[in-house]
């Protein structure tokens, strides 16, 4: 992966980032405690970075035995925008191009509708890697907001699980 011009060691990046600590228990539950993890945090969330990194990730995955590597892109979706329905609407507008594996439209929706997803660069990177790996099936497993679980719908945060299958 050293050919990716945007990657560099940065322990400071992980100080405020919490997605790895949230994902780790699920990863360990599914794959055991001895699983190897390569965490990547994306600061510059641009199409250029997503394409460069997504292609490199796909290249690395392709060099391993089929089915031996799983990759996860983690992000919440829209944040704290009343009412609840606006977050749901913005999330679904952004989720649609993910389901179509269209990173260009995804970036356009994020910008046009001001969707405040923190990790949209990671999502776009996952789209690029999925396309390069030959993924044909993308499924929205679940979408919900913090209001769906707490009942407080004045300011909500959106969440979604999306699976990519060959």
Mean pLDDT for the stretch of residues 143-154: 93
Q: Could you tell me if 160 and 106 are in contact, meaning their C-beta atoms sit under 8 angstroms apart?
A: no
The percentage of the chain sitting over the pLDDT mark of 70, rounded to a whole number, equals 99
Of 38-47, 50-59, 133-142, least confident by mean pLDDT is: 38-47
Contact of 101 with 128, CB cutoff 8 Å: no
Give the contacts of 4 (CB within 8 A, at least 6 positions apart): 52, 53, 56
- Residue 119 phi, psi (nearest 5): -110, 40
Domains of the chain (ranges; CATH) run 13-165 (3.40.830.10)
The overall average pLDDT reported for the chain is 90
Asked if residue 156 lies in contact with residue 146, where contact means CB atoms within 8 angstroms, the answer is yes
Burial class (CB in 10 A: 0-12, 13-18, 19+), 124: buried
Give the HSE-up count for residue 53: Cα atoms under 13 Å, Cβ half-sphere: 24
| Neighbour count for residue 146 (Cβ, 10 Å) | 19
Please, which pLDDT band fits residue 51 given cuts at 50, 70 and 90? very high
Lookup: tokens for 138: 């993308």
Distance CA 113, CA 79 (A): 13
Taking 90 as the threshold, does the pLDDT of residue 38 lie above it?
no
Band of pLDDT at residue 41, cut at 50, 70 and 90: confident
How confident is the model over 135-163, as a mean pLDDT? 93
Residue 5: pLDDT above 90?
Answer: no
């Amino acid at each position: 992966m050293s050919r990716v011009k945007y990657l560099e060691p940065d322990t400071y990046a992980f100080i405020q980032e919490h997605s790895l600590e949230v994902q780790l228990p699920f990863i360990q539950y599914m794959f055991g405690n001895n699983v190897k993890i390569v965490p990547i945090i994306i600061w510059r969330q641009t199409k250029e970075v997503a394409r460069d990194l997504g292609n490199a990730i796909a290249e690395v995955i392709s060099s391993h035995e089929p089915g031996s590597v799983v990759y996860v892109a983690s992000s919440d979706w829209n944040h704290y925008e009343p009412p609840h329905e606006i977050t749901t609407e913005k999330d679904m507008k952004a989720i649609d191009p993910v389901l179509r594996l269209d990173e260009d439209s995804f970036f356009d929706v994020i910008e046009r509708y001001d969707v405040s997803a923190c990790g949209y660069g990671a999502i776009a990177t996952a789209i690029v890697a999925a396309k390069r790996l030959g993924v044909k099936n993308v499924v929205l497993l679940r979408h919900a907001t913090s209001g769906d679980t707490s009942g407080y719908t004045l300011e909500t945060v959106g969440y979604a699980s999306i699976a990519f299958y060959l």
